Amino acid sequence: MVRVGIFGAAGYTGGELIRLLTNHPSAEIVFANSESNAGNKVCEVHEGLYGDCDLQFTSEYAFDKVDVIFLCFGHGKSEAFLQEHSVPDNVKIIDLAQDFRIRGNHDFVYGLPEIHRDAIIKCSHLANPGCFATAIQLGLLPLAKAGLLTHDVSVNAITGSTGAGQKPGSTTHFSWRSDNLSIYKVFTHQHLHEIRQSLKELQGQLDASIDFIPYRGNFTRGIFCTEVVRLDKTDIDAVSLYKAFYQDAAFTHYVDSPLDMKQVVNTNKCLLHIDQFDNKLVITSIIDNLLKGAVGQAVQNMNLMFRLDEKAGLMLKASAF
């Protein structure tokens, strides 16, 4: 059994991680750390876990009793935590924040399994990709691999309210979010840096801009993304390109028919579809922001890091009816 410690366990990602690992055949949660909820039962905070989990949140932790720790902090807190704490070399780290996603003066591997599988298997420290970044990259990677991203790419993506975290804010309250849509961080979203990093890794050079407009949706979970790409030729069989690129991917699949977001909510899947109009492609990419966009992908990476079945604990049915 892989022994797991979770820091920042009281938030949305912490709760989803506990839900997945409680039902994981090869994982055991040793501690769920939360300073603000220490002593409280996990199921009293994450109420969907009643009857599934007897854990209590704790302010204590012991690195020598775990094989891996998940950092479910807000952005910027993971780096500070690791500067203040000495994690033994034999304990693997999976960070769900953005602190180590951009390559630099650290040894964290950027963990997008569809292109970094071999590096993930060998690594000890992993930076889990962002939610928007996952959906957008998976929609563009086959084109980058073929060197076809030569013109500016237009991206529109809408996310559920859970993408903003558990702490209430002016744009997350139900009375504001209900029956409402809004855009934010137009062309400046922080995930653009990791998106460009991965695309350049495959294409070698990326002069085209990624013109990304994020939307706040009036629903709780899921990301629905559309990307418009202009090609230099009209005779490219883009569908075959995508099917070949993802033929061995555990959770990313090309679908011949148009997509609905409900097909992926509550799963670790990314589903893709293309509509082609002469030399223009409209790529639809959909994920659950809390699963494939966060903790589902983190567990997928844990499985690879410990050489488990990549799909272990992640065979989840979508909530579609």
Rounded CA separation 2/133 (Å): 28
Whether the CB-CB separation of 131 and 289 falls below 8 Å is answered with: yes
At position 261, the amino acid (one-letter code) is M
Rounded CA separation 296/317 (Å): 13
Rounded CA separation 191/101 (Å): 9
Question: Which one from 43, 123, 131, 225 is the annotated catalytic residue?
Answer: 131
- Side-chain-side CA neighbours of 283 within 13 Å: the count stands at 28
Query: Is there a catalytic annotation at residue 131?
Result: yes
What residues are annotated to the active site? 131
